[in-house]
């Protein structure tokens, strides 16, 4: 037999609303009544239904999370931060893996609305006009994690990608490298593709007056296989490059794999640098020097911003940029 809030109220000799206040706002109930209700809950092993609680406080304490690829090591660390923040705030996550498929994304958004989530976190992808219209139609608060929107006033949490790449190029130059190539993300990606490529080109123009980018840049899709293929193309057209900056750790490992197969030593012959500082950066040989994004913190802060929006009507900061860091390991050689 399922125990209900009515059973708890009856056996505690209090009203249903008093039980509800004990569950949702315990400080508003006198100590003796609160302890009596909590003891009854314990004895009955009562677990309040989230939707039933939501009828009273207009919150289900559930948060939808829209992610592009649950298997991605970057995403998994971001989710870990989200889960920790949600747990601390008494909420649960509903994870939706979209595979960057527009139809799946739209379907999940409507499902989350039906599940009566309090709001949702949208990760990694750009916010298109169509997505924004759906956000407004659903009427739920949204926070962007590892992405942002300059067109729409949506709270976001991420790193400053352009500054991170400038710092990476500066690090390589200080190590004595002048012949620097790049394996970029796709140019159609305005979140991690275009900004990192733009910053690399700007830095190379500023430092070396380089404009021959077709000879020092290749493109991938942030995956191991695309990094391997891009490194092959880059090496075939330009063998003067002494270091390759990759727009993700996975692509960096793909590049290192190609170089290993060609018996090109990393870092003695060609240095390789990544971006993200996922767990795999410490698992390869040589260990990968990389730009570290605070992945856990991005997840944690995005859920915190959503909670602030739910409680106060808006997040404390519209676009929050977290600090990146250069993690030096073994894959970049000092040639000074």
- pLDDT at residue 1, rounded to an integer: 66
Is 214 found in the same domain as 187? yes
Is 280 found in the same domain as 166? yes
Q: Pick the residue with more confidence: 99 or 200?
A: 200
> d(Cα 335, Cα 259) in Å, to the nearest integer?
19
Q: How many domains does the chain have?
A: 3
Q: Are 285 and 122 in contact (CB under 8 A)?
A: no
- Which sign, positive or negative, has the C-alpha torsion 256, 229, 164, 211? positive
Is 269 found in the same domain as 185? yes
| Range 11-35 average pLDDT | 80
Residue 47 has pLDDT above 80, yes or no: no
Is 199 found in the same domain as 110? no
Domain of 215, in residue numbers = 161-293
> Over the chain, what is the mean pLDDT?
90
Q: Picking from 118-122, 259-263, 299-303, 307-311, which range would have the lowest pLDDT averaged per residue?
A: 307-311
Residue 51 has pLDDT above 80, yes or no: no
Is 138 found in the same domain as 52? no
Residue 336 placed within a domain? no
Beta carbons within 8 Å of 319's beta carbon, 6+ residues apart:
148, 155, 156
Is 171 found in the same domain as 272? yes
- pLDDT at residue 182, rounded to an integer: 98
Q: Pick the residue with more confidence: 251 or 59?
A: 251
Residue 331 placed within a domain? no
Residue 245's DSSP bridge partners are 182, 273
> Can you say how many angstroms the Cα of residue 157 is from the centroid of all Cα atoms in its chain?
8
Residue 238 placed within a domain? yes
Is 184 found in the same domain as 69? no
Residue 36 placed within a domain? yes
3-state SS, one letter per residue, for the chain: CCCCHHHHHHHHCCCHHHHHHHHHCHHHCCHHHHHHHHHHHHHHCCCCCHHHHHHHHCCCCEEEEEECCCCCHHHHHHHHHHHHHHHHCCCEEEEEECCCCHHHHHHHHHHHHHCCCCEEEEECCCCCHHHHHHHHHHCCCEEEECCCCCCCCCCEEEECHHHHHHHHHHHHHHCCCCCEEEEECCCCCCCCCHHHHHHHHHHHHHHHCCCCHHHCEEECCCCHHHHHHHHHHHHHHCCCCCEEEECCHHHHHHHHHHHHHCCCCCCCCCEEEEEECCHHHHCCCCCCEEEECCHHHHHHHHHHHHHHHHHHCCCCCCEEEECCEEECCCCCCCCC
> d(Cα 141, Cα 65) in Å, to the nearest integer?
12
Is 308 found in the same domain as 285? no
Tokens of 2: 């399922």
Is 82 found in the same domain as 14? no
pLDDT tens readout for residues 163-181: 999 999 999 999 999 999 9
Residue 335 placed within a domain? no
| Range 93-101 average pLDDT | 89
Q: Pick the residue with more confidence: 320 or 61?
A: 320
- pLDDT at residue 58, rounded to an integer: 64
- pLDDT at residue 55, rounded to an integer: 47
CATH assignment of the domain containing 15: 1.10.260.40
- pLDDT at residue 61, rounded to an integer: 84
Residue 220 placed within a domain? yes
Q: Picking from 32-41, 42-51, 214-223, 245-254, which range would have the lowest pLDDT averaged per residue?
A: 42-51
Q: Picking from 200-204, 238-242, 316-320, which range would have the lowest pLDDT averaged per residue?
A: 316-320
Is 66 found in the same domain as 85? yes
Is 28 found in the same domain as 79? no
Tokens of 45: 């092993």
Residue 302 has pLDDT above 70, yes or no: yes
CATH assignment of the domain containing 224: 3.40.50.2300
Residue 287 placed within a domain? yes
Residue 114 has pLDDT above 90, yes or no: no
Residue 115 has pLDDT above 70, yes or no: yes
Residue 330 placed within a domain? no
- pLDDT at residue 27, rounded to an integer: 67
Is 128 found in the same domain as 103? yes
């Amino acid at each position: 037999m399922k125990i209900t809030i009515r059973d708890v109220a009856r056996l505690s000799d209090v009203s249903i609303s008093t039980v509800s206040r004990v569950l949702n706002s315990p400080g508003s109930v006198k100590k003796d009544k609160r302890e009596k209700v909590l003891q009854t809950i314990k004895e009955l092993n009562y677990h309040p239904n989230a939707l039933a609680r939501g009828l009273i406080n207009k919150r289900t304490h559930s948060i939808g999370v829209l992610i592009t690829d649950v298997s991605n090591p970057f995403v998994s660390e971001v989710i870990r931060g989200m889960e920790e923040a949600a747990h601390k705030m008494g909420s649960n996550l509903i994870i939706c893996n979209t595979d960057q498929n527009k139809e799946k994304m739209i379907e999940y958004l409507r499902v989350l609305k039906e599940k009566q989530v309090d709001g949702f976190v949208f990760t990694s992808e750009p916010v298109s006009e169509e997505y924004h219209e759906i956000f407004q139609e659903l009427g739920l608060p949204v926070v962007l994690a590892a992405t942002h929107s300059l067109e729409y006033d949506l709270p976001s949490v991420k790193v400053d990608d352009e500054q991170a790449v400038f710092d990476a190029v500066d690090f390589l130059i200080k190590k004595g490298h002048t012949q620097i190539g790049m394996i970029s993300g796709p140019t159609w990606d305005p979140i991690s593709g275009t900004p990192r490529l733009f910053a690399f080109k700007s830095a190379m123009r500023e430092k070396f007056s380089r404009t021959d980018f077709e000879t020092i840049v290749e493109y991938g899709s942030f995956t191991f296989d695309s990094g391997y293929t891009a490194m092959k193309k880059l090496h075939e057209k330009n063998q003067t490059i002494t270091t390759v900056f990759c727009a993700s750790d996975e692509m960096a490992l793909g590049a290192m794999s190609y170089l290993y197969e060609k018996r090109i030593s990393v870092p003695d012959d060609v240095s390789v640098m990544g971006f993200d500082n996922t767990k795999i950066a410490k698992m390869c040989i040589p260990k990968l020097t990389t730009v570290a994004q605070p992945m856990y913190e991005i997840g944690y802060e995005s859920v915190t911003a959503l909670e602030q929006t739910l409680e106060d009507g808006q997040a404390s900061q519209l676009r929050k940029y977290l600090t990146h860091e250069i993690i030096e390991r073994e894959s970049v050689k000092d040639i000074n």
